[in-house]
């Protein structure tokens, strides 16, 4: 059983919802991220979503874009993010960590060795789940299989505009949990319609 599954089963048994905060890796300082992660756990986080800085974060609003730009300027890339996860794991072997990012850093990982090398190193570092914003389900069955073999959950996005067919496809491939995008547009923008979200869920 994965750490994510174990966490959700424990929450369900206790009648609780999951608190899953997000932080951009390497912001505001490259070496502070593991401490921030421990702080989130101390404050009640059940799962941590760790954003991987990328130069063209098309789905992110200005706040996350600026945080990512600052982290990139400090030399924080995917390898450095995995090192941060490994450092976090030295003191916390139970809290699930999900990496959120884009396909390009994964495909160019380790001098173009790509997704297979990333999956190998992510498993070694202690990553529990991966959410790649621009990997649609129909294009990543091979990647999904590699992650499953390494014991890493693949998390997909669903949105208010998702069709029934897309929902069924995501339900077939996704493990861990499904990330529902509650707002149209980039992160941090617009008004949250909680009634509409409730109907979709």
Whether 49 is catalytic is yes
pLDDT higher for 169 or 19? 19
Least confident of 26-40, 92-106, 170-184: 170-184
Residue 63 confidence (pLDDT): 85
List CB contacts of 126: < 8 A, sequence separation 6 or more.
85, 86, 88, 89, 93, 97
Nearest by Cα to 107 from 140, 74, 137, 80: 140
Whether 60 is catalytic is yes
Residue 187 confidence (pLDDT): 54
Contact call for residues 54 and 101 (beta carbons, < 8 A): yes
Q: Which one of the listed residues 31, 35, 60, 69 is annotated catalytic? A: 60
Per residue in 57-112, pLDDT (tens digit) is 777 778 888 999 999 999 999 999 999 999 999 999 999 999 999 999 999 998 77
Least confident of 27-31, 87-91, 107-111, 184-188: 184-188
Is 3-200 in CATH node 3.20.20.70? yes
Q: Which one of the listed residues 31, 46, 49, 146 is annotated catalytic? A: 49
Per residue in 124-173, pLDDT (tens digit) is 999 999 999 998 888 888 999 999 999 999 999 998 888 999 999 998 88
């Amino acid at each position: 059983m994965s750490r994510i599954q174990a966490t959700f089963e424990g929450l369900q048994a206790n009648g609780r919802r999951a608190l899953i905060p997000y932080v951009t890796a390497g912001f505001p300082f490259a070496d502070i991220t593991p401490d921030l992660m421990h702080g989130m756990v101390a404050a009640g986080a059940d799962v941590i979503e760790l954003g991987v800085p990328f130069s063209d974060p098309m789905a992110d609003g200005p706040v996350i874009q600026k945080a990512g730009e600052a982290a990139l300027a400090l030399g924080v890339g995917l390898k450095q993010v995995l090192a941060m996860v490994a450092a976090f794991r030295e003191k916390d072997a139970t809290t699930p960590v999900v990496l959120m990012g884009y396909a390009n850093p994964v495909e160019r990982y380790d001098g173009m060795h790509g997704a297979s090398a990333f999956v190998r190193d992510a498993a070694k570092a202690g990553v529990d789940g991966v959410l790649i914003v621009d990997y649609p389900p129909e294009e990543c069955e091979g990647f999904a299989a590699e992650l499953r073999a390494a014991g890493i959950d693949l998390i997909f996005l669903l949105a208010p505009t998702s069709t029934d067919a897309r929902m069924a496809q995501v339900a077939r491939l996704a493990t861990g949990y499904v990330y529902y995008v509650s707002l149209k547009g980039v992160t941090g923008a617009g008004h949250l319609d909680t009634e509409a979200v409730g109907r979709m869920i």
